[in-house]
Amino acid sequence: MNHDSGVQVSGAQTPCVRTAPPGPLAGLTCGLVDPVGVDEPRLSWNARLPEAAAVTVAADGREVWRSVVPAGSHLVDVPGERLAPLTPYTWKVEGHASGAFTTGLRGEWDAPWLAGDPRAAVSLRGSFTRRPGRAWLAATALGVYRALLNGVRLGEEELAPGWTDYGHRTRYRLVELTDLLVQGENELELWLAPGWYAGHVAGGGPFRYGDRPAASAQVLVRDDDGVHRVLATDGTWTLRDLGRPRADLIMGETVQTPSPQAGPVETAPAPEIRVEADPAPPVRVIGTVPAVSVTEPVPGVQVADFGRNVVGRVRLRVEAPGPVRIVVRHGEELTATGRLYTDNLRTADQRDEFVLGPGTHVAEPAFTLHGFRYAEVTGWPGTLTTGDLEAVPLSSALAVTGSLTVSDPAVRQLVANIGASADGNLVSVPTDCPQRDERAGWTADISVFGSTLSFLRHTQAFLSGWVTTLIDGQRADGAVPHVAPVLPEYGYDSPVWSDALAEVPWLLWRRYGDDRTLRRAYDPMRRWADYCLAQTEDGIRPGRALGDWLAPGTVETPKSLIATAALARTLRLLAHVADVLGEPHAPEYGAAFTHVSGAFQRAFLNGPRLRTETQTGYAVALAWDLVPPEDRSAAAQALAELVRADGHRLMTGFVGTPLLLPVLSETGHHDVACRIFNQEGYPSWRYQLRAGATSMWERWDSWHHRHGLQTPSMNSFNHYAYGCVGDWLFRHVAGLGDDPRGTGGGFGELLLRPGPVPLLRHAHARYDSASGTVESGWRAGPDGVQFTFAVPEGVSARAVLPVRGAWDGMTVNGTFLMGLSEQLPTTRLADGSCALNLPPGRWSFTAPAAATAHLLQEWDDLGRS
């Protein structure tokens, strides 16, 4: 840390690992636990059925649909036409899983719309008389809303209904009201704020989509005669002051005593877009974070430190002896004098104000969002203490599905930082940063981080909904935007960024067997690929846009190399997708891949070596099969030599970083990958940790020990892209991954290949996959190494153990491996490793020191270096 830089980079605290929201993952509908508002249900269970089984769907105890699914199944579709609207259903797979869902409106949205205020949050109120039957609220907004019934908040959703491409669609939520209604009159209230629709978005000022927000809602009752609407937003409603005259997602919120007067509402024209049930988990409060210290750098200015970077708001508990005006500003770091550092926020104010009268108050904003570790408080009545405030983090509440435990506290902190940046940047859409005035759904960020994220969180419903938003932004000529929801000024048509249209649906297929998203994206993928092919000259795509963004090296990877490689990758994926979907275009795109990869070899390779040698260039060429098979080993050796020449420091940006370590590990240079990972100097993951990071940085040099902070115009301390190393930790360190040779979906084909790392003495990964819980890990000791695995029923697993020499002394679950040669036949690989197919069950292999001496020696040597 360089105090002369004027910035204090704070020390790390104990890692905070979020636990799963309540609810089992054994029975899911459309990727969610017991969802409400589903029109075409897909039922899934995290296991492969050992035999054929009956699946039944019932309403009020009466069976309405039955089907028999074959052995090996882990999902089934329910015909929507068999289901009634606004009806709760239960389902079960006999002896294996059960769940529930409630159908949506199953029709066009026709409730009128009411206008709000362009800057303030307001209250819209209407009343209705209770009617017998099951009652539901269906609500949506162009903006964000919160619903209350008879003064009591409904549900826990924040910033509903989230951010979509408002030129195409918005989404509604259903909330059951039946048990909450009182006899006679009931009052429904909607708090409505500008949100993404009319508030500030991505540095472009307010009113990007419209000049004021609008809301639409209806209360529906289902009885024996069908569905009846008993209330809708219309001209009989009233508008009231909410005491929040400033309510902006980026700029902040003002909270004060509301005016009691009510006024007439103004109707708004109905938008000509789809209003559909939200397929994704809602944004919720995911916990609270207490302040750990308070300082007063100058009189009257008090700064609370929450110990880690969070995304959300600050909740105050105020004892006011008289009227007070409290201002809370938010930032990620402090200056050398202990004041709040805000230069990297650009135009984002991140300022909340509380104008409160005498008495006791618990005050909190409702319609803003901040990225911060520190809160600077002015106007506080007296001395601020840590008990007077707490941070309230918000995130789309994705269930926790994976864990990674290791012996090194620094790596545990890294894993916690990856999870923290994931949660903080998953607020309705996957964003790039939560603090400055950008907060856009950058496509490359989620494309490179998606695999890591999908180990840690259940992403199916969330990412599937985002893919729809990405498709909405595609131009008629096939060009794909850089951000989704689309913001045209951020551009279109950047290799790797726009290729997220192929990468993310393919990831959802591989992880969850989600062929629905794959099919929805298939024609848009083809339009994108055809658009790119039309730009090629002799198979080479011109270099453009962002390249290997934020790579620290002095030698730039040619943008045309990245563009051509990314096109080849998308063509290869399209051929796979066509096969999965039974479409006839696989040969067409396979031939296009052959053409483009051949052009790549002629343009960028000289034998096995790149004409312009960069780590990223080799990583993409090897990862995406663009090197001729006969040259692959030599090219990998060239990459390893280049890394050594770079002092075992990575020189990769957003394109090369997710590929570099996996490519090295997969091509026989795991030791080189380990040296990179164990680097503590700049640039490296451990460099961030040594500087006190509690979330992932946008840049390798977000803070540098010689130069201080990077340019404030683009510097975020909460960016998940470089958290992509989590995928390498799961797959190549703990050894838990799906088999890249497989083409099936749903994580049903495993490759368990532990890769012990120097400085670690044990690592263990657990993943609640779509096919069951998978585990892989290892523990080293003076007498050898123990490898442990768990393989679910119905899943194929290939294990590769990094052992050498005679295996006579190796035991399996307490029995010598050589004695199980018929049950567990083994194959010796070229590097001496032991490969075998594992049946379902729990397995423990103990390899004696004689078979692992090479590892122990390598660990000691690498650790000392």
Alpha-carbon distance of 175 to 154, in angstroms, equals 7
Whether 562 contacts 495, CB under 8 Å: yes
Of 157, 158, 364, 438, the active-site residue reads: 438
* Dihedral sign for Cα atoms in the order 445, 446, 447, 450: positive
Per the rule left: phi > 0, alpha: psi between -120 and 50, beta: everything else, 631 is alpha
Alpha-carbon distance of 334 to 340, in angstroms, equals 5
Alpha-carbon distance of 562 to 620, in angstroms, equals 8
Q: Give the orientation angle of helix 615-623 with respect to helix 586-604, to 10 degrees.
A: 150
How is the beta sheet containing 42-44 ordered, strand by strand? 28-29, 42-44, 75-77
Place of tokens 């699946």: 55
Alpha-carbon distance of 352 to 366, in angstroms, equals 11
The token duo for 381 is 């009545």
Whether 257 contacts 243, CB under 8 Å: yes
Place of tokens 């052992």: 803
- Spatial CA neighbour of 716 closest among 446, 313, 415, 373: 373
**Consecutive H or E run containing 277:** strand 274-277
Whether 847 contacts 785, CB under 8 Å: yes
698 is catalytic: yes
Write a three-state SS string for 725-766. HHHHHHHHHHCEEECCCCCCCCCCEEEECCCCCCCCCEEEEE
266 is catalytic: no
Alpha-carbon distance of 660 to 652, in angstroms, equals 8
* DSSP string covering 338-357: SPEE-GGGTT---EEEEEE-
Place of tokens 């153990």: 801
Write a three-state SS string for 800-865. EECCCCCCCCCEECCEEHHHHCCCCCEEECCCCCEEEEECCEEEEEEEEHHHHHHHHHHHHHHHHC
Alpha-carbon distance of 185 to 231, in angstroms, equals 12
Whether 509 contacts 745, CB under 8 Å: yes
Of 189, 332, 390, 698, the active-site residue reads: 698
Q: Where are the alpha helices (DSSP H) in 123-245?
A: 195-198
Pairing of strands 796-801, 749-752: parallel
Alpha-carbon distance of 442 to 482, in angstroms, equals 6
Residues identified as active-site: 438, 698
